[in-house]
Amino acid sequence: MTRYTYYPGCTLKTTAKNFEDSTLASSEVLDIELVEPERWNCCGTVHALATDDVMHHLAPIRNMIRVEELKEQDMVDNKKMVTLCAMCYNTLKRANEVFKSDRDKKKKIHDTMYREDIQYSGNVEIVHLLEVLREGGWDEVKSAVKKPLTGLKVAPYYGCLLLRPRGIGIDDTDNPTIMENLIEALGAEVVDFSHKQKCCGSYHTVHMKEAVADLSYNILKQAEDAGANILVTACPLCEYNLGPRQTQIRKQYPSFDSIPVVYFTQLMALAFGLDEEATAFEANKPDPMPLLTEMGLMEKNKNGSNK
């Protein structure tokens, strides 16, 4: 069992709790223990791009100090910070790079955070869970599969911040394969489609939801036209824009035929044969359970609830 520091991000504790629940359950099967620090703070969701900005780097760097503290207390086996949310991954990784390369900012950050017990050494590595899975080998994932997702046509949706900008992404920006490899290891069919890296609309969902609905509609339609019956994602904001926002899409495109959107760890939990609490499909909108039950990948109990 390898123990990693686990950084949840704010949303995984609230509206995206299903992402966290399915992750913790499926990681355990793969001998990955995710240790959440007792104290952590919001990473900021977006990286501060202005070159003179120091204030917005405090939040990400503070979290890295937490990783070093856990390692010092021997609660984890390495100095990696595992994230699930693509936005957290991007923000934390970029802040880390800035800290390591800019001596002036490093000094200012240390000076402001004089109340922390230790100074950040710069030695933490930010990784996304997909990278951890890739490092462990796809065969490991395959061997943990009890119920292969045969017949499920999965469209891998990366979104923006998992692959861009150059040098930060977890895979090649032009031809990523990491999600496809995971899907195949779980026994499902990969459906490649043109919009797998197109932005879902991101934070414009707050004040410009019509524009977001347009973008999301295109992504979902392309996935569907390519033959997918389910879409998989790694970011709670993408999931929100492509999932719950479908009610808005339907207002603008009444003939829209929706497909369910789930987190990649939920599919993992399903393939590993874990129970309802682990797959946590209840929170997903639209509901993926009818599709999965129809395909025989989930069982319906006698009292009507799903197993």
Partner 1 sequence: MSSFGSKQTLRFNPGENTFKNRVNELSGENVDLCFQCGACSSGCPMTQEMDYLPSTIIRMIQLGLEESLESKTIWTCMTCFNCEVRCPRGIDIANVMEALRQLVLRKKYNRVSLDDLTQEELRELPQIAIISNQRKLTA
Partner 2 sequence: MEATNEMVTIYVMGKKYEVPGDLTIMKAMEYAGHQFRRGSGCRGGYCGACATLYRTKGSYKLEGALACQKIVEDGMYIAQIPFNPAEKITYNINELRPDANTILEYYPEVSRCLSCNTCTKACPQDIMVMDYVQTALRGDIAKTAELSFDCISCGLCAVRCPAEIVPYNVATLARRLNAKYIDGPSQHVLDRVKEVEEEIYDEDIDKLMKASKEELAELYNNREVDLSE
We find the least distance from the C-beta atom of residue 51 to partner 1, in angstroms, to be 4
Q: What does the block give as tokens for 274? A: 């874990």
Closer CB to partner 1, 42 or 118, in the complex: 42
Nearest-5° angle of CA 38, CA 41, CA 47? Answer: 145
Of 5, 4, 18, 95, residue with least CA distance to 276: 18
240 binds partner 1 (CB under 8 A): yes
Among 4, 23, 62, 160, binds partner 2 (CB under 8 A): 62
Of the listed pieces 51-59, 66-74, 225-233, 286-294, which binds partner 1 according to CB under 8 A? 51-59
The DSSP symbol for 171 reads: S
Q: Which of 23, 83, 205, 265 binds partner 1 (CB under 8 A)?
A: 205
Q: Which of 34, 191, 237, 297 binds partner 1 (CB under 8 A)?
A: 237
Among 2, 3, 10, 253, binds partner 1 (CB under 8 A): 10
3-state secondary structure of 218: helix
Alpha helix locations (H) across the chain? Answer: 17-29, 58-72, 86-101, 103-112, 129-136, 138-143, 178-185, 209-225, 236-242, 246-252, 264-271, 276-279, 289-294
Binding mask 12-51 for partner 2 (x = CB under 8 A): -xxx-x---------------------xxxx-x-------
Choose the one of partner 1, partner 2, none that binds residue 115, judging by a C-beta under 5 to 8 angstroms depending on kind: partner 2
Choosing among partner 1, partner 2, none, which partner's interface includes residue 113 (Cβ < 5 to 8 Å by kind)? partner 2
Say whether residue 150 binds partner 2 (CB under 8 A). Answer: no
Please tell me the distance from the alpha carbon of residue 38 to that of residue 16, in angstroms, as a whole number: 20
Is 42 a binder of partner 1 (CB under 8 A)?
yes
Q: At what angle do helices 103-112 and 86-101 cross, to 10 degrees?
A: 110
Contact 180, 188 (CB under 8 A): no
The CA distance from 203 to 175, in Å, is 26
The one of partner 1, partner 2, none whose footprint includes residue 62, by CB under 5 to 8 A per kind, is: partner 2
Nearest approach, Cβ of residue 259 and partner 1 (Å) = 20
Residue 65 burial (CB < 10 Å; 0-12/13-18/19+)? buried
Note the residues at the interface with partner 1 (CB under 8 A): 9-11, 14-16, 42, 44-46, 48-52, 56, 85, 87, 160-161, 164-166, 173, 197-199, 201-208, 211, 214-215, 236-237, 240, 244
Q: Which residues bind partner 2 (CB under 8 A)?
A: 10, 13-15, 17, 39-42, 44, 55-56, 58-59, 62, 112-113, 115
